[in-house]
Structure 1
Amino acid sequence: MTGMTGMDSSAGPGPASAQNAAGASAATPAGTPRSAGTMLPAALPGMPAYDPADLYSFDRPGMVSPVIAAALPRVYVPNSESDTVTVIDPSDYHIIETMKVGHEPQHVVPSWDLKTLWVNNDLGNSLTPIDPFTGKAGAPIPVHDPYNLYFTPDGASAVVMASKDMQLVFRDPHTMAVQKVLPVPCEGVNHADFSPDGSYFIVSCEFSGQLLKVDTKNRAILGVLDLPQKGSMPQDVKISPDGKVFYIADMVANGLWTVDGDAFKLTGLIPTGKGAHGLYVSRDSTTMYVSNRGEGSITLLDFATGKPRAKWQLPDGGSPDIGGVSADGKVLWLSGRYNAEVYAISTTDGRLLARIHVGRGPHGLAVYPQPGRYSLGHTGVFR
């Protein structure tokens, strides 16, 4: 077992068909969406209706779907340089086990129906399934260049971000059989998020400083947008609760680009900190946590004002990267990409609760389970 330091207190606590998963997930027994009664139908058949006032209204504390109510509370950390996944108990921060997976695991991704966690073994050209109810890994499935993984909002397709292949590969969400290969005119496709009605999604291209707009239903490229910052390296993508703004973290611009998704037009740049990388929405939809990997800090962006309102600095530095918010909203979990460690951070005051030593190159960790009816992929983008 690997050691841990910096602990101050404890943290908070087989695939179904798309139709069955959506129906079961919608029956959340706890919590009520803030705007219940204003739900709109989606553009995609099979996609659950959405709340236009708050796309994250089903992500409140206590709103864990009954589909995964029995899932083990765990934090899964892919160690890209160690070819392992470290499994952490979030209740006391101790490491439960370190499992061997494929070569260069980049992200741990919840499936659309919430019943599987997929380890993206990028250079191993495979996906390793983990059963969240037992914590056990299954046999890997061959998939070429799975740097990252998303799911269309109707649950009909998995979308592999094949970064080196310069492709978006649409696959069956369970078997991973290829449905369509979409070549892309940019380098380093890696992160994405979907429009409120699911009709399109915006993708960041890390190595060419560009964004793509993709038609979800027709699986076609609608546009390419060049970022004005020289050498831009866009990373995580997240839509605002009201669906009006897409935020794109940029490690070179040291902040967030804002984009009008419908018009596919750049509207501004919000400075946050050196190496802006990961984006996470608070459980009350008021705040977005921005991990600034290059300076060891987290910026709190206020959605109401569109401006940063605070910054938390990790004591003794670090390299906060990718992660997620605990089910109760009290803890922000982030990997320390260049420090072989994981950070548990209080969302109340930014205090470091634990610094846990893991394998080399920890990257896209997943906190599980989390509230929400279904997963759009990455390390946990839930609606």
Structure 2
Amino acid sequence: MRSKFFSGRLRAAAARAARIVVPATAALAATAAFANNIIVLNSAEATLSLIDENTRQVIGTVPTGKEPHHLMPTPDNASLIVANSVSNNLMFVDPKTGTVQRWVQDIEDPYQIGFSPDRKWFVSTGLRLDRLDIYHFDGKNLTIAKRMPLPTMPSHIAFTNDSKTAFISLQVSGEIAAIDLATQTVKWKMKVGPVPAGVWLTPGDKYLLVGMTGADYVAVVDLATQKVIKTIPTGKGAHNFRSLVDGKHVLVSNRVANTISIIDEDSLTNVGDITGLLPGPDDMELSADKKYLWVTFRFAKHVGVIDLASRKLIQTIKVGRSPHGIYFYNRAPVTAPNGA
């Protein structure tokens, strides 16, 4: 997420940037050693870092397009899609090796991306273009269904389990928009607070949690009444979510407070904070054994490894400038962007 404090500068830079075509490059050879790789996007450096999960060492760097922020595996997990927002394209890479497989051009300003749970729709938010693009997905190809104006600064996405609705956070207007995917129309909008970013649906799609990057809390939206029924104090810059995969808890990164809060999805309360982190905790990923949480530190050029038993940061790994999206190859594919 580009916060309101520096979004104007990035908008101006993006407007000046000409459309570029990035050539495919020779990447790394596939070997058995790549079985447990982690891919991190360095959004300010136009590269991805390949990290061996076992040794926790960077073993390769691959060029991307301009400003790669978010990433998403294809439903068959055969490819990892890297969304290059300023280059206006998608880069498909081998999730095991980072090897470039193909490019899809003329995908304008793909900031956050995601597949609906039924795999029929592919959604891309155009943060600098104030637009939402909805594509039909046939298992391989993307065909545009509709390009929808959606002011201002559409950011993160969450899908209902029935794939009927996508919720989009609008950073500048401080709203959430509910999008009907079948008709590609806005069902409703509502105010939620300053600079909403990450969005997360609680079990049964009862409540929508919204991280307030311009404040210090998570807003809880009752979808039946379309009202904010409570706020959960977390830390300044509440930003993005990641499930703990225990059916009970979800994490939220607090980019200004430099903490991660643990939210109980039943009681809708903050039950603990992970502190002692580097500046700008952002996207998070869980190891397959659920013992470690990996987090990108946007303002520190590092990725961190947190031991969940002790809730301590136990290691940091230097990567490129402004690390953002993170992906584990050894996890089952996740088609919705809630954990990306």
Please indicate, yes or no, whether the TM-score normalized by the shorter chain is above 0.5.
yes
Who is 2:337 aligned against? 377
Who is 1:218 aligned against? 183
SS of equivalent to 1:289 = strand
- 274 and 211 in structure 1: CA distance in 2 versus 1, 3 angstrom threshold: same
> Bigger CA drift: 165-174 or 279-288?
165-174
Segments of 4+ in structure 1 off by > 4 A?
Answer: none
SS of equivalent to 1:363 = strand
Who is 2:316 aligned against? 355
Q: Would you say 1:329 and 2:302 are equivalent positions?
A: no
- 375 and 344 in structure 1: CA distance in 2 versus 1, 3 angstrom threshold: same
- 250 and 370 in structure 1: CA distance in 2 versus 1, 3 angstrom threshold: same
Of structures 1 and 2, the one scoring higher in RCO (CA 8 A, sep 6+) is 1
- 153 and 233 in structure 1: CA distance in 2 versus 1, 3 angstrom threshold: same
Who is 2:133 aligned against? 169
Deviation at 1:123, TM superposition (A): 0.5
Q: 2:265 is matched with which residue: 303, 322, 325?
A: 303
Who is 2:66 aligned against? 103
How far, CA to CA, are the matches of 1:119 and 1:102 in structure 2? 9
Q: 1:127 is matched with which residue: 90, 99, 104?
A: 90
SS of equivalent to 1:242 = helix
Q: Unaligned stretches of 5+ in structure 2?
A: 1-32
The structure richer in strand per residue is 2
Who is 2:26 aligned against? none
Report if the CA contact (8 A) 1:113-1:375 is conserved: no
Q: Which amino acid aligns with 2:113?
A: L
Deviation at 1:379, TM superposition (A): 5.3
Residue-pair matches, total: 305
Q: Would you say 1:256 and 2:221 are equivalent positions?
A: no
- 172 and 115 in structure 1: CA distance in 2 versus 1, 3 angstrom threshold: farther
Q: Would you say 1:159 and 2:119 are equivalent positions?
A: no
How far, CA to CA, are the matches of 1:304 and 1:245 in structure 2? 10
Q: Unaligned stretches of 5+ in structure 1?
A: 1-69
TM-score for the superposition, normalised by structure 2? 0.84
Deviation at 1:133, TM superposition (A): 4.1
Q: Would you say 1:281 and 2:246 are equivalent positions?
A: no
Who is 1:140 aligned against? 103
Q: How far does the alpha carbon of each residue in 1:207-232 deviate from its partner, in whole angstroms, 9 at most, with x for none?
A: 221110111222211001112x4xx1
Q: Which amino acid aligns with 2:308?
A: T
Report if the CA contact (8 A) 1:319-1:339 is conserved: yes
Q: Which amino acid aligns with 1:97?
A: G
Deviation at 1:79, TM superposition (A): 0.7
Q: 1:203 is matched with which residue: 156, 168, 176?
A: 168
Report if the CA contact (8 A) 2:126-2:133 is conserved: yes
TM-score for the superposition, normalised by structure 1? 0.75
Q: 1:90 is matched with which residue: 53, 59, 69?
A: 53
How far, CA to CA, are the matches of 2:99 and 2:224 in structure 1? 42
- 379 and 241 in structure 1: CA distance in 2 versus 1, 3 angstrom threshold: closer
Report if the CA contact (8 A) 1:237-1:247 is conserved: yes
Work out the percentage of aligned pairs sharing the same amino acid.
28
